[in-house]
Amino acid sequence: MKIIVPVKRVIDYNVKPRVKSDGTGVDLANVKMSMNPFDEIAVEEAIRLKEAGKAEEIIAVSVGPAKAQETLRTALAMGADRAILVETDEEVEPLAVAKILKAIVGEENPGLVILGKQAIDDDSNQTGQMLAALLGRPQGTFASKVEIDGDSVAVTREVDGGLETVKLAMPAIVTTDLRLNEPRYASLPNIMKAKKKPLDSKSPADYGVEIAPRLKTLKVSEPPVRQAGIKVEDVDALVAKLKEMGVA
Amino acid sequence: AAAKIAGVAKVHVADNAAYEHALAENVAPLIVDLMGHHDAFLAPATTTGKNVAPRVAALLDVAQLSDILSVEGEKTFTRPIYAGNAIATVESSDAKLVITVRGTAFEKAAAEGGSAAIEDVAGAGDAGLSSFVGAELAKSERPELTSAKVIVSGGRALKDSETFEQVILPLADKLGAAVGASRAAVDAGYVPNDYQVGQTGKIVAPEVYIAVGISGAIQHLAGMKDSKTIIAINKDEDAPIFQVADVGLVADLFTAVPELTGKL
């Protein structure tokens, strides 16, 4: 069985994003970029399935600018076998990414596609579900446990009230939640080896996918700033404040 | 009950065992059928809404709008991006709208006063792709996190699960508050992960949010910075949480919180 793992290059999660003063977006010039944290978890899960003898090959895919190559090399250094970069400098919405992934799934016929549950830049949480819809296959979103059993996969999902387990016929689409696993670091020798692993470069047109955005961003603004607060001296003063607010 | 909610004109009922657990594979085609004579599908941005809505959108070949904060026009909405560090105003060019709505950003509709017609609808039923195996729901007699008026939240500084319970729970009980936690507290195993408040956990906006022993990492702030009043108790006076707190107390939580609980 093959596993496809889509990965996205995003602003590093430790960086506080700054909104451009002209309101056109977030300033990404000279900002540290990394693999989306949920995608690292997806790559890790694919590698663990391969190590357990459940998968033979892992293909990492990224849709984005030429620099997304670095993100794919990271996935290769972690343990993916080969990579496909679908290169474009345009911003690609989840629906268009899902359509590109659908075409790749058509060529590769994986048993599983494992995605992160959301990218920490657009916070959409859509691509996996959309891919499953386009393929007419089942989806196991927000996974905290994935167990393959023959031609089905049991996915334990993090839902609002706790956990829920669903059984999906394979091929299936899984999206990862934070607690699925702890991603490994790529070792230096593996980073060197990853440079020799195959990386195919493609374009959205190769897959016949139209990537023009459906949503137009009119403006990006700073969230409302909170008024500076006060510090109280002791617990009594805090109790007084709580009473003032009518909480206590 | 849905028929009595003020503002609802019609309620469609699809009564079929296949829809019992809201499996996306079964529910999405049903909604797509109904969208033949509706212009928009809105769901709350809960795990169920987030699971189903994008599947509906892709089947309709439209973009989905996640987690909207406000409605600016017929097709214009605002939504948070970058963990709430920026707000985007976006306009859809699609004929049909599929949207998830951030619950804390809108007033609740009155549960009474409406009189909607009820109409049964048939769906295709079981798509045969997935099945429900079981659920493990956290038991709690406290208010639900996302709808609570007051939340007491604990962080890594609570040391372990016993200490978390001893320090946080009595205060929460005194205030009739829900209990939340930072990711650090969840990862350290102090509390189950559905307590987690933040970008990857729950987004809350209570009247009062009390952060105990939480430093205030951006991922945590993303989940609670729209609270009406934020109170922070932390012994590190440089902790970032104090930059968003309306009321801050620099103190050791192990003495300050029991004292606070005692004086309420």
Q: What percent of chain B has pLDDT over 90?
A: 78
Nearest-CA distance from B4 to chain A in Å? 25
Residue range A29-61, pLDDT digits in tens:
999 999 999 999 999 999 999 999 999 999 999
Closest CA to B182 of B145, B221, B146, B234: B221
Domain B2-120 and domain B150-263, same fold? Reply is yes
Q: Which CATH class is domain B150-263?
A: alpha beta
Quick check: helix, strand or coil at residue A195? coil
Cβ under 8 Å to A: B residues 123-142:
128-138
Cβ under 8 Å to A: B residues 8-47:
21, 23-25, 28, 46-47
Read off the pLDDT band of B47 (50, 70, 90).
Answer: very high
CB contact under 8 A, A220 and B128: no
The answer to whether residues A88 and A203 touch, using CB atoms and an 8 Å cutoff, is yes
Task: Give the number of other CB atoms < 10 A from CB of residue B62.
Answer: 21
With contacts defined as CB-CB under 8 Å, which chain A residues touch B208? 242, 245, 247
With contacts defined as CB-CB under 8 Å, which chain B residues touch A124? 54, 64, 66
- Determine the pLDDT at residue B260: 95
Residue range A195-212, pLDDT digits in tens:
999 999 999 999 999 999
CB contact under 8 A, B47 and A157: yes
Q: Could you tell me the residue range of the domain that residue A159 belongs to? A: 2-245
The full DSSP string for A84-111 is EEEE-SS---HHHHHHHHHHHHHHH--S
- Determine the pLDDT at residue A228: 73
Q: Choose the closest CB to B208 out of A130, A215, A245.
A: A245
The answer to whether residues A232 and B210 touch, using CB atoms and an 8 Å cutoff, is no
- Determine the pLDDT at residue A231: 93
- Determine the pLDDT at residue A246: 80
- Over residues B246-250, the mean pLDDT reads 95
Q: Which CATH architecture has domain B2-120?
A: 3-Layer(aba) Sandwich (3.40)
Read off the pLDDT band of B65 (50, 70, 90).
Answer: very high
Residue type, B141: E
Read off the pLDDT band of A122 (50, 70, 90).
Answer: very high
Read off the pLDDT band of A76 (50, 70, 90).
Answer: very high
CB contact under 8 A, A158 and B256: no
Interface test with B, best of A40, A144, A164, A168 (most B CBs within 10 A): A164
Read off the pLDDT band of A166 (50, 70, 90).
Answer: very high
Q: Choose the closest CB to B23 out of A166, A221, A232.
A: A166
Nearest-CA distance from A158 to chain B in Å? 8
The answer to whether residues B224 and B197 touch, using CB atoms and an 8 Å cutoff, is yes
Residue range B81-102, pLDDT digits in tens:
998 889 999 999 999 999 999 9
Residue of A nearest to B131 (CA): A167
Annotated binding-site residue numbers of B for FAD: 156, 182-183, 196-200, 213-220, 234
- Determine the pLDDT at residue B213: 96
CB contact under 8 A, B207 and A231: no
Residue type, B199: Q
CB contact under 8 A, A160 and B47: yes
Whole-prediction pTM: 0.91
Residue B229 at interface with chain A, using a CB cutoff of 8 Å: yes
- Determine the pLDDT at residue A165: 97
The full DSSP string for chain B is -GGGBTT--EEEE---GGGTT--HHHHHHHHHHHGGG-SEEEEESSHHHHHHHHHHHHHHT--EEEEE-EE-SSSEEEEEETTTTEEEEEEE-SSSEEEEE-GGGSPPPPSSB---EEEE-------SSEEEEEEEEPP--SPPGGG-SEEEEE-GGG-SHHHHHHHHHHHHHHHT-EEEE-HHHHHTTSS-GGGBBSTTSB----SEEEEES----HHHHHHHTT-SEEEEEES-TT-THHHH-SEEEES-HHHHHHHHHHH-
Q: Choose the closest CB to B150 out of A159, A179, A247.
A: A247
- Give the domain ranges of chain B: 2-120, 150-263
Q: Whose structure tokens read 């989806």?
A: A139
Q: Domain total for chain A?
A: 1
